[in-house]
Amino acid sequence: MSEQIPEVPASLAGTAQTAAGVGAGPVATAAAVAAGEPLLLSAVAARIQRPQIAVPLYLDAEAASQIQDAEDALARAIEYDKTANAPDTAPALARHVRDLEDAAEASKAVFVLRALPHRAYQKLRAQYPPTADQIAKAAEREDGREAVFDPDTFSPALVAAQLVSPVIDSAEIFEEFWEELNDGQMNELWTAAVSIQMGVTDPGPKSESASRLLESSGIS
């Protein structure tokens, strides 16, 4: 992909210095309501915290991809050593597995993404409409789903706009970074970006396991 990644406006880009939801906390709001004061929308709005996710990305994809094959070889070596009348072969393979794991872990970088506000997301998406070919292919699908954006250009733009850490040096640096990723690495970031942008925020019922453990510990 060779599309130009636009400069990310400060209003869109996540920043480590600006945390969502700074303002009146839930305790202060509850106290005001208990005192008979009206619940103000400004107090509620100040508590909004957009979803955020940390995505570990293994930049040494070669080492990461070799681990499973090395583990399979180690399993075979362990079984062979049980019956073979020869020096064990498994220890050397175990060392190789560990070396690959260490190399992959050393290459890990954690990317922190934060969802955009709804209107900012809609404006950003509108800048990357689907191509005529993508619209035509969508019309041929039986599921009736329409093409609403060009994934080739919108995916890096959304990731760039959501990225809190690492901080983007410049649009050019981000474009070079994106071009160097393989499809799997790109998909990890894109999937995470869409997940937090469209994810449901209802946490569901309280954990029964946590409740039982707290109750048994005498903690309410």
Tens digit of each residue's pLDDT (9 = 90 or more) over 88-132? 888 888 999 898 888 888 888 999 999 999 999 999 999 999 999
**Is the whole-model pTM more than 0.75?**
no
Distance CA 140, CA 184 (A): 27
Distance CA 53, CA 191 (A): 11
Q: Which segments of the chain belong to CATH 3.30.2220?
A: 1-16+50-58+109-200
Q: 10 vs 95, which has greater pLDDT?
A: 95
CATH number listed for the domain at residues 1-16+50-58+109-200: 3.30.2220
Q: Are strands 108-114 and 163-165 parallel, antiparallel or unpaired?
A: antiparallel
